[in-house]
């Protein structure tokens, strides 16, 4: 499936900003199952300097430095990406979850890159309640993928999608108590719970298609930045991406931007400004299938 991506973040400041430095995780990465055909960042006002590099996790990072006064800052990603992630293996072909946890703990060949996603991270300290929530999906000897799919479905059924009841600092314990939140919250919950029982899990940022496939329900979390979970199934089968907000296995409706331990590693835009006072931010995202765009053009 080929998509056109448009993602605009706009800041409006109460007073002028004299200097600003922004770090962006906005350029999609090429990974197995995803090809980046084109990707471009545009900013207004024009930065005085822009640099690009890869971070520890292999994500694209862009730094924009603005050295003239400005009242607004807009940054837009436009990209074209083709995705078709491989289906997961048969459930019974995957190892028992305890074996996967033991391999990750050992960190030997085939496991060392996954092992770092077993540990606490700044936004996801150890949370015993998250482990207790996850545990019923992982009885003794259960194939790891079977447990992951069960957990993915439970979160979709047992938590309400409600914007405005959480923010980027909301803890997993709070999400568990109120049983409501948005994609970032459900992703953090699932990751914290999996790590609590010894399974590697990583935070994946990206986008979800704006319009669902024909005959499918509207997806929760479309028209904005999205997040989901990467879970490790062992050295033979690697990673599977799961979207607990929608109870989906990631195949052809998602575009990957970046991988990290939690949201803080790969937030789309963050920075330091001199001046500005209070500010507001608006975000607009469209992930449109190319064939849908063509069909719309044919009707005009």
Please report which confidence band the pLDDT of residue 293 belongs to, taking 50, 70 and 90 as the band edges: low
Largest CA distance in the chain: 61
In terms of domains, do 226 and 139 share one? yes
pLDDT digits (tens, 9 = 90+) for 3-35: 999 999 999 999 999 999 999 999 999 999 999
* Integer CA distances (angstroms), 173 to 162, 169, 170, 189, 227, in order: 17, 12, 8, 8, 19
In terms of domains, do 202 and 61 share one? no
pLDDT digits (tens, 9 = 90+) for 108-137: 888 988 999 999 999 999 999 999 999 999
Residue 70 is part of which domain span? 2-83+266-298
Number of domains in the chain: 2
In terms of domains, do 288 and 201 share one? no
In terms of domains, do 116 and 208 share one? yes
Model-level pTM? 0.94
In terms of domains, do 107 and 151 share one? yes
In terms of domains, do 39 and 95 share one? no
Q: What angle do CA 27, 180, 127 make, to 5 degrees?
A: 80
Helices 97-106 and 144-158: crossing angle in degrees, nearest 10, is 110
In terms of domains, do 28 and 147 share one? no
* 189 close to 172: Cβ distance less than 8 angstroms: yes
Mean pLDDT within 233-249:
97
Rounded (to 5) percent helix, strand, coil in the chain: 25, 40, 35
What CATH number is given to the structural domain containing 194? Answer: 3.10.620.30
pLDDT at 294 over 60: no
């Amino acid at each position: 499936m080929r998509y056109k991506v448009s993602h605009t973040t706009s800041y409006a400041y109460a007073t002028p900003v004299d200097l600003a430095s922004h770090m962006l995780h906005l350029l999609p990465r090429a990974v197995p199952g995803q090809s980046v055909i084109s990707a471009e960042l545009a900013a207004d006002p024009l930065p005085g300097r822009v640099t690009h590099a890869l971070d520890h996790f292999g994500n694209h990072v862009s730094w924009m430095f603005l050295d003239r006064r400005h009242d607004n800052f807009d940054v837009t990603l436009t990209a074209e990406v083709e995705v078709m992630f491989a289906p997961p293996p048969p459930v019974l072909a995957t190892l028992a979850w305890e074996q996967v946890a033991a391999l990750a703990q050992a960190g030997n060949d085939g496991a060392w890159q996954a092992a770092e996603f077993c540990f606490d991270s700044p936004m996801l300290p150890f949370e015993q309640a998250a482990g207790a929530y996850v545990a019923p999906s992982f009885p003794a000897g259960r194939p790891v993928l079977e447990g992951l799919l069960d957990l993915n479905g439970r979160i979709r059924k047992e938590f309400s999608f409600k914007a405005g009841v959480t923010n980027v600092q909301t803890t997993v314990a709070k999400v568990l108590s109120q049983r409501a939140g948005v994609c970032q919250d459900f992703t953090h919950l699932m990751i914290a719970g999996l790590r609590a029982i010894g399974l590697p899990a990583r935070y994946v940022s990206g986008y979800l298609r704006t319009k669902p496939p024909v005959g499918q329900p509207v997806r929760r979390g479309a028209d904005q930045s999205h997040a989901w979970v990467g879970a490790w199934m062992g050295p033979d089968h690697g990673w599977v991406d799961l979207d607990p907000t929608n109870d989906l296995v990631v195949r052809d409706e998602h575009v990957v931007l970046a991988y990290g331990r939690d949201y803080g590693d790969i937030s789309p835009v963050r920075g330091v400004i001199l001046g500005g006072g209070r500010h507001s931010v608006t975000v607009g995202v469209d992930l449109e299938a190319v064939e849908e765009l063509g069909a719309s053009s044919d009707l005009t």
